[in-house]
Amino acid sequence: MVCFLWIVLIIVFLVLTFKYYFGTTRWCKSTVKLNGKTALITGGNIGIGKATAIDLANRGARVIIASRNKEKAIQTIREIYEKTGNDNISFMYLDLMDLEVVRQFAKQFLKEEKRLDILINNSGIAEWAYKTIGPKTKQNYDLIFGVNHLGHFLLTYLLLDLLKKTRNSRVINISSLRNLWRRSPLKYDKGPNNDGMLYPDLSGYDTSKLANIMHSKMLSKILQGTHVTANSVHPGLVATDIIMTPLKSVLPEKLYLVFDPWFRFFSLDCTAGAQTTIFAAVDESLTTVTGKYFGHCRLAWDNKLAQDDEACQQLWDYSMKMCGLT
């Protein structure tokens, strides 16, 4: 009997420990207002991006939602207005799978907008997209790496002058705990492979999330002295479509119905998952903090590969090449 009780206590301890580190969050405590400031959020129409957009709108910011799904974005804009009373929310079409579309977006944005205080590179896809969309981007790069890293890399680069002009602006790249899963150094063999994909080693979700952190670290160095900061964050374990969609597609319906509530117990909802993004975007203590990686509204451990300055520089150089910037 005593042995059984010890086993139960150990299980409870492990469950609560897991939930504390992965399924809980610290909340952004900043009450700063953003009136007169402009925020651009990719993928701001759903999930964590939507929760972030609601918060920034509630602070008075002009929020621009960039996504492929206009219908969903319009619905989100209506919901934001109903919740916040802020009618200064707009939609711009952006397809991160096509670098030419990214260029067109940036050109239009620079033509229409006079400032950019907060750029949140939030949009992301995971492995399920291979089945629903295909393996490659328009430019024949891995789909996930192309959307999660290259599209945002080019977008940020094209908006750098406006960010500098605005001053005291912030770039936030949304990474993931899965950046830790990439163990081997990035390789830059151009290929193509048998599927016609260029740079085949630069593929998959883990690699793209590592690249988000490395991108932020290089930006922080390049932007020194410009009053623009660049940081990356992980939202924690969040029940978003990136996780739930593939699970629903592979699990039998009855098993998914059992699994779903358990997973949601251990994970965060989108509002909680957005807190670290919001923290990085608005907290007054981070005005000059740059090149850091945050989770649960505090500094977090990142992949050792992201701590290699030479590797970060190499990724930057190849990203410039892949985006046609050199």
Which residues carry out catalysis? 205
CB-based contacts of 271: which residues, under 8 Å, 6+ apart?
51
Phi, then psi, of 117 in degrees rounded to 5: -90, -35
Residue 6 burial (CB count, 10 A): 10
Q: Are the CB atoms for 50 and 76 separated by under 8 Å?
A: yes
Measure the CA–CA gap between 77 and 121, rounded to whole angstroms: 18
> How far, in Å, are 60, 130, 133 from residue 197 at the CA level?
44, 13, 15
Q: Are the CB atoms for 97 and 152 separated by under 8 Å?
A: no
> How far, in Å, are 95, 242, 254, 263 from residue 260 at the CA level?
30, 14, 10, 5
Q: Are the CB atoms for 165 and 291 separated by under 8 Å?
A: no
Residue 74 burial (CB count, 10 A): 13
Report the interhelical angle of 70-84 vs 47-58 (nearest 10°).
40
Residue 158 burial (CB count, 10 A): 18
CB-based contacts of 207: which residues, under 8 Å, 6+ apart?
144, 145, 182, 186, 201
